[in-house]
Structure 1
Amino acid sequence: MILPKRTTIYDIAKKLNLNASSVSRALANNSNVSEATRDLILKTAKELNYKPNRIASNLRKGQNQTIGIVVPRINQNYFSNVIAGIEEITYQKRYNIIICQSNESYQKEVECINTLVNQQVSCIVISTSADFAKDDHLQAVLDQGIHLVQFDRVAPNLDTHKVLNDTQEASMEAVSHLINQGYHRIALLEGPQNLSIFRERKAGYLEALRKYNLPINEDLMIENAWTKELGEKATEMLLDLPNPPDAIFASTSDFAALGVLTVAQKRNIKVPQQLGICGYANESFTEITNPPLTTIDQFSNKMGKAIANLYFEEIKNKQISTSRKIVNIKPELIIRASSQKNKI
């Protein structure tokens, strides 16, 4: 299928036997063009279905009112809500956004960044992929004079604006809740430890066990279980142990927690009587599972707005700030039936 050619100011100028500069001035409502000529140009532009190329226009003015966003997965409620929060602010500022998905691949993340740099976006917002290796591509963004804001999964050694949650404190609160509900052999589904955010969540888990003088058992900690399928696989391994856990904290995602619940139901294990479950991120489906899943709300929409506001505060100074801001948004433990053993 051959797509129709986009109408340009040169097409309008050719039809009216005018200079392209005259057409451009008329479309910009410049007073140097007579009213009759401007009306004719506007009428012709409408007939030819002319649409202004805002990106090209901004580049001619030395600016590009476009923000690039790179996230691991677009189809997760957490990341889509962050994007929605960003868009709510950028829409008010008449900025466009370009969304890229790394699909948890470091190589694809690098390609996304290169594409956005070539598009000459004014800012790049990123949450890094699961197999994030090094931050050279992000440093290159700064070297190009492009604003950079990191959120959630960040390169900790890179000096940029960051929007974060206190994930260690949230994880400690979640595990403490499970312990207070009477669970004493609590397993952890943990994310890749090359990412600081998952190291912090594991630290919160360990801190809670130490606080309540519970033993730390390496057999109860399964790394890289952040999808439903990996959550199912990890749960099968844990429940096949000679001494299986009585609760599982899926610190990676609610999708992993859903995997835990799926295996429990297949094995006719009663939740929360025989197995407590807690997830992370407060995905929309957690309210409608049976039983509903305890989880941690990261206030993702609020995070998105904070990200956009950091950028717009910075451009007021018309340069990339040397004073980096870290915005911490406190998450909240949402207690539901999957972990409320004491209520039964």
Structure 2
Amino acid sequence: MKNQKRTTIYDIAKKLNLNASSVSRALSNNNNVSAATRELVLKTAAELNYKQNSLASNLRRGHNKTIGVIVPHINQNFFADVIAGLEEVTYQQGYNLIICQSNESYTREVESVNTLINQHVSCIIISVSADFEDDSHLRNILAQGIQLIQFDRVADNLETFKVVNDNERASMEAVSHLITQGYQRIALLEGPQNLNIFKQRKDGYIAALKKHNFEVLPELMIENAWTKELGAIATRKLLNMPMPPDAIFASTSDFSALGVLEVAHKMGVMVPEKLGICGYSNEAFTEITTPSITTIDQHSVDMGKTIANLFFQEMGSEKEVRPKIVNIQPKLIVRSSTLKNKLGRSVR
């Protein structure tokens, strides 16, 4: 006979339409929870035969000053800067970070989550992998009474603290800038559409074209061109079209934009005169390429600080804190790769 699944605080939270932190507070007799809520949680816990994990409860109250961080790539400027911002704040609070890299693998992401749970961390901060499948491992974090904060790439359907960029607005700004520079056929390099950030960037691209009465052409939108190699393959395909684009927005990353630039050089296509190129993330190399690459700065260090401060505010709050979404506004950085019209100015 199959063993019955153990009841978790997430099961109680789901039944009562509360967040996991509220249930955790009620079970630990926290004064910040109303008497009515506490009574309801305790009653439901008894009905579901919930047995409290005293170790997790103690750790939830801050006895373990360790935070786990899971990112797709440690060596990308964006994620490295987020970690730097996190560390600056957590160090001041006497907390340590455990850094894990999923390397864009869902399997490794799940393994990292399980490892951090077993390390009894106080919080897990995550940006999900490219082949993200479902959020069951993230729900398990909440079920263990561990705080979960998602950033950048998030599971939209899971109610947690989230710190994200306004990707749609940033993409609209980038494409509008290309249009004001005189580019007429603007191609899009897309990332995996199962991830929220790439869907939003595509939405921004389409919205900008419609705003300026440009036709949305499916043949100019290339799927999954989100690495340098895939960006190069997509660029060769685009530039060999009977009517090639005169601008490419690599909405996926600056690495993809670098692939575009290298192919343009090899094919003898002048940048920005015959081809405008815009990337995303403001990687360090974008300033030193020839020409330098227009990109979008995601304020990654500030994002890391914001994430850390969210955690400490939630831990130390005297009031009930509901999960919320914090939006950080990216900034378009115009460089030589899109200055076809030297007098043109980007649309804000």
SS in 1 for 2:176: helix
2:239 corresponding residue in structure 1: 239
**Aligned mates of 1:64, 1:235 — CA distance in 2:** 49
Aligned-CA RMSD value = 1.5
| Alpha-carbon shift at residue 128 of structure 1 (Å) | 0.6
User: Sequence identity, in percent?
Assistant: 66
**In 2, Cα distance between the equivalents of 1:325 and 1:311?**
12
1:222 counterpart letter in structure 2: I
Partner of 2:337: 338
CA distance 1:256–1:62, shift in 2 (3 Å):
closer
SS at match of 1:164: strand
Query: How far apart are 1:67 and its partner, in Å?
Result: 0.5
**Whole-angstrom CA distance in 2 between matches of 1:176 and 1:276:** 13
Counterpart of 1:289 in structure 2 is 289
Match of 1:329 in 2: 328
Q: What is the CA-CA distance between 1:62 and the residue it aligns to? A: 7.2
What residue in structure 2 maps to residue 42 of structure 1? none
1:156 aligns to what SS in structure 2?
coil
1:250 alignment counterpart: 250
Distance 2:206 2:147 in 1: 36
Secondary structure at 2:155 match in 1: coil
Give the conservation status (yes or no) of the 8 Å contact 2:130–2:192: yes
The answer for unaligned runs of 5 or more in structure 2 is 1-57, 344-348
How far apart, in 2, do the equivalents of 1:234 and 1:132 lie? 23
* Residue aligned with 1:342, SS: coil
Residues 118-133 of structure 1 mapped to structure 2, 5 A cutoff: 118-133=118-133
1:1-344 superposed matches below 5 A: 63-317=63-317, 323-343=322-342
The amino acid across from 1:327 in the alignment is V
- Asked if 1 retains the 8 angstrom alpha-carbon contact of 2:62 and 2:122, the reply is no
Contact 2:70 2:100 in 1 (8 A): yes
- How far does residue 186 in structure 1 lie from its aligned partner after superposition? 0.4
Letter in 2 for 1:217: L
Question: Aligned equivalents of 2:200 and 2:262: distance in 1?
Answer: 27
2:62 & 2:287 partners in 1: Cα distance? 48
Q: Which ranges of structure 1 fall in alignment gaps of 5 or more residues?
A: 1-57
Listed one character per residue, the Cα deviations across residues 88-135 of structure 1 (whole Å, up to 9, x for unaligned) are: 001101111000011111111111111111111100000011111111
Task: State the AA in 2 paired with 1:225.
Answer: A
User: 3-state DSSP class of the match of 1:305?
Assistant: helix
Provide the rounded CA distance (Å) in 2 between the counterparts of 1:62 and 1:333.
Answer: 39
Give 1:328 shift.
0.8
Secondary structure of 1:187's counterpart equals: strand
Q: TM-score, normalised by structure 2?
A: 0.80
The separation in 2 between residues aligned to 1:75 and 1:227, in whole angstroms, is: 14
Deviation at 1:317, TM superposition (A): 3.7
Q: Secondary structure at the match of 1:182?
A: coil
Structure with the larger RCO, 1 or 2 (CA within 8 Å, 6+ apart): 2
Q: Which of structure 1's runs of 4+ aligned residues deviate more than 4 A?
A: none
Give distance in 2, aligned partners of 1:140 and 1:318.
26
